[in-house]
């Protein structure tokens, strides 16, 4: 694979919180249309990698590029904004805006941030709600929706920005098993449509089914990166083997 | 004893309040029968004066109504100043945040009466700005003097409400490309506003009580009128007049405080 052609490129990224090193030299690249899963024990820096890609956490050292944006060089929130229009994110805790309805949650950012036409955005938002199969919940407030429904609205909200990449941060970790499959179904559709996705997940079966590549992180390093069949069936690194032995 | 232990905390509280109210009513009735009614009738004669500042009850020149007007004007000013100060203490830019933080703490930790005296003596009688003459009559000074500590307390209410919004809201809004100003306007403030209402209402009740201090500025508020009245009234009546004024404040402030408490409970139960 060619690094220069990659849509997202991380090289030797380091980040510490206080004295605690979280990322100790992460290097990875993601091609356009690729779905990459990041797995690993908690505290290994998975979520931090995602936040470094869209600039929510500034890196200490290293190189981060998304499309034409050189993220590691951006110093202010203002410079980040163009990047954030391209990179959407879905969170573990959904983080919908509780004072707005599901439909408004989806419409807010395209209108207020991108300045798109209201009528056009509403049409787009209704299509997205239909896509995540929540058309009848358009006028419900987040507090009236189940966790799985809120998460699907959050996915629709991310899609409404028409991003090039979506980052999924353990999006099913806070859900009960019943609703997990609805959310995973929605994500699978996106991957099949060719949207570039990076997923931090604990759903090993889903990671195996949906992704083209799986990265295993441990103690702030990417220990192993391989196509899922290879990583899950023939892990090369002993740490990967140990982790998979515990979770599978 | 058994009945007492079966009551909830709320029930007990209500029972105690009821008992106190009943005690007061009984005391008034007993006292009236023992000759207090003559004193109460003196109070009744003067009541229009205490309420409006004129013996016939019209026009309104002062009295308890002036206290209410003062509290409203002061609260309006305090809300504007407090909002500015609250946002300034939240600013990320140090040269704005630090001075406003110091000012806020200074105002919050000064006795209200001292601040009132300070505005009384520091503010000039009138001010000349761009050829205009802005007068500072005692009423305006009282408004400003009471608004300063209220504004400082309100800015804390704002800060608390804004900081109580979950950090995930910031993260989500940032990841959608919102600027900091837009995040405040579209995401944080609409949510924080609801959480501010109980604190704001509570503060208003406190401010209303504090308007009694404004008597030091010499405005014809209920306390100034009371003091003038007492000079011409029989000494035995004084306590009845004070009780009446006390009751006026309680009757005005208690419902407001009760509303604030109810709103607080409603906000707490809100699922976010």
Tell whether B167 lies on the interface with A, counting CB pairs under 8 A.
Answer: no
Mutation choice for A interface testing from B164, B172, B174, B197 by most A CBs within 10 A: B172
Give the pTM. 0.79
Segment A163-191 mean pLDDT: 89
Residue B231 has pLDDT above 90, yes or no: no
Residues in chain B: 272
Structure confidence at residue B228 (pLDDT):
86
User: Residue A3: which pLDDT band, with cuts at 50, 70 and 90?
Assistant: low
| A103-112 CB burial, b ≥16 within 10 A, e <16 | bbbbbbbbbb
**B34 domain residue, yes or no:** no
Q: Which residues of B touch A54 (CB under 8 A)?
A: 175
* Residue that has been written with the tokens 């004669």 in this structure: B45
Q: What percent of chain A has pLDDT over 90?
A: 60
Average pLDDT, chain A: 90
Structure confidence at residue B128 (pLDDT):
79
Tokens found for residue A128? 């997205």
* pLDDT tens digits, one per residue of A12-46: 999 999 899 999 999 998 999 999 999 998 888 89
Higher pLDDT, A51 or B264: A51
Nearest to B182 among A80, A112, A143 (CB): A112
Structure confidence at residue B234 (pLDDT):
78
Q: What CATH number did the domain enclosing B169 receive? A: 1.10.3720.10
**B38 domain residue, yes or no:** no
Q: Would the CB atoms of B175 and A84 count as touching at under 8 Å?
A: yes
Residue A77 has pLDDT above 70, yes or no: yes
**B19 domain residue, yes or no:** no
Work out how many domains chain B is built from and give that number. 1
State the alpha helices, DSSP H only, in B123-236: 138-163, 167-175, 180-182, 189-210, 222-232
**B93 domain residue, yes or no:** yes
CA distance B76 to chain A (A): 26
**B7 domain residue, yes or no:** no
**B263 domain residue, yes or no:** yes
State the alpha helices, DSSP H only, in chain A: 46-53, 77-86, 102-112, 118-131, 147-160, 177-192, 204-210, 228-233, 238-247
Residue A178 has pLDDT above 90, yes or no: no
Structure confidence at residue B268 (pLDDT):
61
Residue A194 has pLDDT above 50, yes or no: yes
Higher pLDDT, A245 or B36: A245
Nearest to B171 among A56, A85, A157 (CB): A56
Q: Would the CB atoms of A91 and B172 count as touching at under 8 Å?
A: yes
**B35 domain residue, yes or no:** no
* pLDDT tens digits, one per residue of B119-129: 888 888 777 77
Structure confidence at residue A160 (pLDDT):
94
What range defines the domain where residue B210 resides? 52-269
- Here the contacts of A224-232 (C-beta below 8 Å, separation 24 or greater) are A225/A28, A228/A37, A232/A204, A232/A208
Average pLDDT, chain B: 87
Residue A235 has pLDDT above 60, yes or no: yes
ipTM of the complex: 0.89
Residue B272 has pLDDT above 50, yes or no: no
Q: Which residues of A touch B194 (CB under 8 A)?
A: 99
CA distances from A166 to A77, A91, A102, B28 (A): 19, 11, 19, 73
Structure confidence at residue B227 (pLDDT):
86
| Contacts of A20 by beta carbon, 8 Å cutoff, 6+ apart | none
DSSP-assigned states of every residue in A185-200: HHHHHHHHTT-EEEEE
Three-state DSSP state, A54: coil
Residue B206 to residue B1: CA distance in whole angstroms: 36
User: Residue B1: which pLDDT band, with cuts at 50, 70 and 90?
Assistant: very low
Q: A interface toward B at CB cutoff 8 Å? A: 54, 56, 77-78, 80-82, 84-85, 87-89, 91, 93, 95-99, 108-109, 112-114, 143, 154, 157, 161
**B29 domain residue, yes or no:** no
| Contacts of B165 by beta carbon, 8 Å cutoff, 6+ apart | B188, B191, B192
Higher pLDDT, A5 or A239: A239
């Amino acid at each position: 694979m060619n690094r220069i052609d990659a849509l997202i490129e991380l090289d030797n990224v380091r980040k510490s919180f206080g004295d605690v090193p979280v990322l100790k030299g992460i290097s990875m690249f993601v091609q356009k249309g690729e779905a990459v899963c990041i797995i690993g024990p908690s505290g290994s820096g998975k979520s931090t990698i995602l936040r470094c890609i869209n600039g929510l956490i500034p890196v200490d050292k290293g190189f981060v590029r998304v499309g034409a944006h050189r993220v590691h060089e951006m110093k202010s929130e203002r410079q980040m904004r163009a990047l954030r229009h391209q990179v959407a994110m879905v969170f573990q805790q959904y983080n919908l805006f509780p004072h707005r309805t599901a439909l408004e949650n989806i419409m807010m950012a395209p209108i207020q941030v991108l300045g798109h036409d209201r009528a056009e955005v509403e049409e787009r938002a209704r299509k997205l709600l239909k896509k995540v199969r929540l058309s009848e919940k358009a006028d419900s407030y987040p507090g009236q929706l189940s966790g799985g429904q809120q998460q699907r609205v959050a996915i629709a909200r991310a899609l409404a920005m028409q991003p090039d990449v979506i980052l999924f941060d353990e999006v099913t970790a806070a859900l009960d098993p019943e609703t997990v499959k609805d959310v995973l179904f929605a994500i699978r559709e996106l991957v099949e449509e060719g949207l570039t996705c990076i997923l931090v997940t604990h759903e090993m079966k889903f990671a195996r089914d949906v992704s083209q590549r799986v990265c295993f992180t441990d103690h702030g390093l990417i220990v192993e990166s391989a196509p899922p069949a290879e990583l899950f069936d023939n892990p090369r690194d002993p740490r990967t083997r140990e982790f998979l032995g515990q979770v599978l | 004893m058994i009945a007492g232990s079966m009551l909830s905390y709320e029930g007990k509280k209500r029972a105690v309040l009821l008992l106190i109210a009943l005690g007061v009513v009984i005391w008034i009735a007993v006292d009236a029968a023992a000759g207090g009614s003559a004193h109460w009738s003196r109070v009744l004669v003067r009541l229009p004066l205490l309420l409006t500042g004129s013996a016939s009850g019209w026009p309104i020149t002062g009295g308890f109504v002036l206290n209410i007007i003062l509290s409203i004007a002061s609260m309006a000013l305090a809300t504007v100043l407090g909002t500015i100060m609250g946002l300034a203490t939240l600013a990320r830019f140090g040269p704005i945040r630090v001075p406003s933080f110091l000012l806020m703490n200074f105002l919050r930790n000064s006795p209200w009466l001292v601040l009132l005296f300070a505005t009384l003596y520091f503010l000039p009688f009138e001010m000349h700005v761009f050829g205009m003459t802005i007068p500072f009559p005692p009423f305006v000074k009282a408004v400003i003097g009471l608004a300063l500590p209220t504004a400082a307390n309100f800015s804390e209410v704002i800060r608390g409400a804004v900081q109580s919004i979950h950090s995930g809201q910031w993260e989500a809004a940032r990841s959608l490309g919102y600027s900091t100003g837009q995040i405040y306007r579209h995401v944080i403030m609409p949510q924080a506003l609801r959480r501010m209402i109980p604190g704001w209402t509570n503060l208003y009740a406190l401010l209303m009580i504090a308007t009694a201090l404004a008597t030091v500025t010499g405005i014809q508020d209920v306390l100034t009128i009371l003091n003038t009245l007492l000079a011409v009234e029989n000494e035995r009546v004084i306590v009845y007049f004070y009780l009446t004024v006390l009751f006026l404040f309680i009757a005005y402030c208690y419902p407001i405080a009760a509303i604030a408490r109810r709103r607080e409970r409603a906000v707490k139960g809100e699922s976010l």
